[in-house]
C-alpha cells in the first residue's frame, strides 16, 4: 500500500513536475538559472517547497545548485551524454524483457493512439511536439512492462536525455525514429524479445550518433514564460 502524501509532499511534487515538464518539453534550456522568487510567483508556491523541490532535482542530476549563485538547469557534458545513453540502453533492454505479447494486447489501443500522435507530430513539423511524442513511446513501453523500479529510473534518464537533445541535436524531424518504434512494437507483439532488445539497442545507438556534441543550445523561453505556460 502506498503512503498517503502530506500537503507539503504534494506541493513539492507539483513543483518538481512543473519544472521537469518544462525541461522535458524543451521550454527551459540547459544552464537556465532557476530563480526561486520567479518559481514561487509562476506556480503560486511556497518558497520552502520550491527549495525542497530544487534539492530533490539536484539529487537526480537534473538541477545544479551552486553556492552564492543558486540553482540552474543542468548542462550535461559530452561524456555525460554518452553515459546517459549507455544507461538507457541497459534499462530499456531490461524493460523490453518484461513485456509479453499478452501485455502488448492489453495496451493495444494506447499503443495505436501513441503511434498516431507520433506520426501526426512529424506531419505538423512541430519540434516540441515531436520531442514529446518520441519520448512518450519510451515511457509507454516502461508502463507496459509494469516494473515500477525500472520505470522510475527511466523517467530520470528521459529528462536528462531531453537536456542532451536540446544541447546537441538540432534536427529531430526524421521519420526514421517512427519506423524504428514501429519495428520494436512489431517484435514485441510477436513475442520476439531478443529482436526487440536488439532493435532498441540499435535505436538508442542511432540517437547518440545523431548528436553533434559541439553544438550550442538555441535561445528558448525564460523561466517565467515556461512555468506560466505549464501552469495555465
pLDDT of amino acid 97:
98
**pLDDT tens, position by position, 97-114:** 999 999 999 999 999 999
Percent of the chain with pLDDT over 70: 88
Say which residue, 100 or 25, is predicted with more confidence. 100
Q: What is the pLDDT of residues 201-216, one digit of tens each?
A: 999 999 998 888 765 5
What pLDDT is stored for residue 29 in this prediction? 86
Task: Show the beta-strand stretches assigned E in 62-159.
Answer: 63-66, 70-73
| pLDDT tens digits, 114-165 | 999 999 988 888 777 888 898 999 999 999 999 999 999 999 999 999 899 8
Q: Which CATH number is associated with domain 7-74+218-231?
A: 1.10.10.10
pLDDT, greater one: 224 or 189: 189
Rounded Cα–Cα distance for residues 138 and 143 (Å): 9
The reply to whether 78-209 shares the fold of 7-74+218-231 is no
Domain at 78-209: CATH code: 1.20.120.530
Query: pTM for the full model?
Result: 0.79
d(CA 16, CA 59): 12
Rounded to whole angstroms, the Cα distance separating 188 from 186 reads 5
**Annotated domain spans of the chain:** 7-74+218-231, 78-209
**Higher pLDDT pick, 26 / 232:** 26
Give the pLDDT score at 1.
Answer: 39
Amino acid at each position: 500500500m502506498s503512503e498517503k502524501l502530506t500537503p507539503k509532499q504534494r506541493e513539492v511534487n507539483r513543483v518538481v513536475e512543473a519544472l521537469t515538464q518544462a525541461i522535458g518539453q524543451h521550454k527551459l534550456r540547459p544552464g537556465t538559472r532557476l530563480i526561486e522568487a520567479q518559481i514561487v510567483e509562476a506556480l503560486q508556491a511556497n518558497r520552502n517547497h520550491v527549495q525542497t523541490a530544487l534539492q530533490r532535482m539536484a539529487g537526480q542530476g537534473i538541477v545544479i545548485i551552486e553556492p552564492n549563485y543558486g540553482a540552474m538547469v543542468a548542462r550535461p557534458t559530452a561524456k555525460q551524454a554518452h553515459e546517459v545513453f549507455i544507461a538507457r540502453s541497459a534499462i530499456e533492454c531490461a524493460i523490453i524483457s518484461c513485456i509479453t505479447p499478452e501485455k502488448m494486447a492489453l495496451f493495444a489501443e494506447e499503443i495505436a493512439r501513441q503511434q498516431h500522435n507520433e506520426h501526426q507530430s512529424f506531419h505538423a513539423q512541430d519540434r516540441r511536439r515531436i520531442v514529446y511524442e518520441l519520448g512518450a513511446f519510451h515511457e509507454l513501453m516502461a508502463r507496459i512492462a509494469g516494473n515500477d523500479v525500472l520505470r522510475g529510473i527511466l523517467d530520470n534518464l528521459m529528462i536528462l536525455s531531453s537536456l542532451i537533445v536540446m544541447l546537441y541535436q538540432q534536427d529531430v524531424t526524421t521519420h526514421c525514429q517512427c519506423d524504428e518504434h514501429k519495428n520494436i512494437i512489431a517484435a514485441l507483439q510477436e513475442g520476439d524479445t531478443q529482436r526487440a532488445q536488439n532493435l532498441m539497442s540499435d535505436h538508442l545507438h542511432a540517437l547518440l550518433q545523431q548528436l553533434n556534441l559541439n553544438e550550442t543550445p538555441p535561445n528558448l523561453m525564460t523561466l517565467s514564460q515556461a512555468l506560466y505556460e505549464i501552469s495555465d
